[in-house]
Amino acid sequence: MRNALKLAGAAGLSLFAAMPAWAQEAAAPADPVAIPGNNAWMMTSTLLVLMMIIPGLALFYGGLTRSKNMLSTMTQIGAVACFAMLIWVIYGYSLAFSDNTIPGAEPFISGFSKVFLAGIGQDTTIGTFTDGVVISEFVFISFQMTFAAITIALVLGSVVERFKFSAMMVFALVWLTIVYFPVAHMVWGAGGLFFEKGALDFAGGTVVHINAGVSALVAALMLGKRKGYPNEPMPPHSLTLTMVGTGLLWVGWFGFNAGSALEANGSAGLAMINTFVATASAGLFWMLIERVMGHKGSALGWCSGIIAGLVAVTPAAGNSGPFGAIVLGAVASIICYFFVAKVKPALGYDDSLDAFGIHGIGGIVGAIGTGIVYSPALGGPGGDDFEMGAQLLTQIYAVGTTIVIAAVGTFIAMIIAKALTGGRVSEEVEHEGLDIGEHGERAYN
């Protein structure tokens, strides 16, 4: 008992001595410190997404074009990605993720408090999905910057081989401002319309793929068909490069999906395995449906299926069990195949590299399907109070609204780009190829 009293007395003195420090801490709480392990994972994920753009998407798209447009396609992707990065740090990040400073606009856009990254330093941190876990804000800015860069680059897949370089840059500036930044805020930003309604989009099914795919279709329709399409054969000039690009995209997509957990945690692990199995399922099912339709299973089909699976699992990456992801990848692959192989020829539009058929349709299938595979009855992480019907309505609302915003915004951006630059290259340039006509060089000498 005496020893206990001594310990109690010592503890009391310790508490009394610590009181001034506690009072000081309560008056001025220390800024949270970024956890090095999570920072390291997010920096790695950011570099993986950069690899998706350069060289991944550049090789994937470039190999699908004719050889006379190889460098033009790669140059446009690289340049527009760089342009998006600069716009992002100047004002894009502020519009998507800063404090809401525009009265009444909170559901649709953020504000201007972080224009030119005002108030952000090397010690500035942000919270993540888990209370008490933080990462450096510069790391988060960089990660989200790569999302903006790849989204605008994806749009180009529908208009390659005929879109002026200058028109592309004007289009990118307007499109990012009135389409991408608002939708990114609506899905992931505080007070965003879809965020507040509980729409599920783990890594950008609406923000990236539906946005890019629908915009690609509208842009292709407004720009018109390539000279000679569909009567002249326009096969990919190098499926070898396309397959290399496909592999780089798949590897980089782990940063895209697992990185969207913003932490090196179990959610990132779930996103990782789903990115494996949904993609594997989609790649095989595309080849299978080719055989069912009387064709040989092709390398191009495998590449297309891989991308369709990656697109579909993006919103579901951390919102599905592995077997739900397998089914989602298979369903998306089959539906995308029919849009690419049947619907596009029937309607006659020239979506050059099937940006709409794979990213747009795959994104729609994935976003709506996420409302199904999220169910715990199907192995998803949804809670006991999960209501599939209500969640599906929310997903459909988010998808439909994104389609409208992307279509209207792209129409406006294309009108401005065409008014300022003409939009389309001349017939002579299109005939000789944009490599020489726009950039004065050749991919192959």
Q: What is the pLDDT of residue 14?
A: 40
Q: And the tokens for 289?
A: 């449906």
> What are the C-alpha distances in Å from 308 to residues 75, 137, 281, 313?
24, 32, 10, 9
The residue with tokens 């000081």 is 24
Name the phi and psi angles at 168, rounded to 5.
-60, -40
Quote the percentage of the chain above a pLDDT of 90.
87
pLDDT in tens, 151-162: 999 999 999 999
For the chain, how are helix, strand and coil distributed in percent, rounded to 5? 70, 0, 25
Contact 187, 205 (CB under 8 A): no
pLDDT in tens, 364-419: 999 999 999 999 999 999 988 999 999 999 999 999 999 999 999 999 999 999 99
Q: What is the pLDDT of residue 3?
A: 40
Residue 131 pLDDT grade (very low, low, confident, very high; cuts 50, 70, 90): low
Residue 5 pLDDT grade (very low, low, confident, very high; cuts 50, 70, 90): very low
| Element holding 332 (H helix, E strand) | helix 322-338
The residue with greater pLDDT, 167 or 5, is 167
Residue 13 pLDDT grade (very low, low, confident, very high; cuts 50, 70, 90): very low
Among 307, 299, 302, 320, which residue's Cα sits nearest to residue 360?
307
Residue 168 pLDDT grade (very low, low, confident, very high; cuts 50, 70, 90): very high
Question: How large is the C-alpha radius of gyration of the chain?
Answer: 24
Calculate mean pLDDT across residues 207-214: 98
d(C-alpha 284, C-alpha 306), whole Å: 8
Calculate mean pLDDT across residues 310-325: 98
Collect contacts of 194-200 with beta carbons under 8 A, ≥24 apart.
194/397, 194/398, 194/401, 196/107, 197/394, 197/397, 197/398, 198/391, 198/394, 199/394, 199/395, 199/397, 199/398, 200/315, 200/316, 200/319, 200/370, 200/371, 200/374, 200/391, 200/394, 200/395
> What are the C-alpha distances in Å from 405 to residues 108, 207, 218, 413?
11, 11, 12, 12
d(C-alpha 361, C-alpha 15), whole Å: 63
pLDDT higher than threshold 80 for residue 280: yes
Peptide bond into 381 cis (omega under 30): no
For the chain, the straight-line distance linking the first and the last C-alpha, in angstroms and rounded, comes to 93
Q: What is the pLDDT of residue 89?
A: 98
Q: To the nearest whole number, what is the mean pLDDT of the chain?
A: 92
Q: What is the pLDDT of residue 287?
A: 98
Q: What is the pLDDT of residue 11?
A: 38
Calculate mean pLDDT across residues 200-226: 97
